[in-house]
Amino acid sequence: MERAQKYLNYFLSHRKVTNELIKKIDENNYDYKPTETSMAAGKLVTHMLTSFYMFAKTVKEGSTAVFGEKFDEIAPDLSEAAESYTEKTIEIISSLTNDELERTIDMTRIFGMELTGSQLLQLAMDHEIHHKGNLFVYVREMGHTELPMFVSR
């Protein structure tokens, strides 16, 4: 479980900041887009929260079945959704075994290749960090100037 704890600590060092940013988004800004081709803020947050959850669940189960579930509905309260998905993701990451992290998962339908559980979790982290950067821009353009550091310590 030591590896799982390291992944959990790394996940939380970024997710705590993501959740702080989400708390700054008022419901009247859920449809905000910095450009015409950007995702709306509510959709971006939903995408971030559900994607990491799906990646973690895939690592745990060794199956991509979760990608067939629908997760695109925008929650009425993004902060509550963030807390809920964060808790569910913490539970999954905390329970990962070394065998699950080393297991190869067929991700060819989604990513065109097979990945180990560890590689998929790293991809999930990279995805979270990428979109967290987007979220910083959204929140700043909404008028917020008191923003957290990019990582929580």
Report all structural domains of the chain as residue ranges with CATH numbers, in order of start: 1-142 (1.20.120.450)
Is residue 47 annotated as involved in ligand binding?
Answer: yes
What one-character DSSP code corresponds to residue 29? G
- Predicted TM-score (pTM) of the model is 0.93
Pull the structure tokens for residue 26.
């008022």
Is residue 127 annotated as involved in ligand binding?
Answer: yes
Percent of the chain exceeding pLDDT 90 equals: 93
Q: What torsion do the CA atoms of 38, 39, 41, 46 make, to the nearest 10 degrees?
A: -150
SS3 at position 114: strand
pLDDT digits (tens, 9 = 90+) for 121-148: 999 999 999 999 999 999 999 999 999 9
Contact 117, 96 (CB under 8 A): yes
pLDDT digits (tens, 9 = 90+) for 88-107: 999 999 999 999 999 999 99
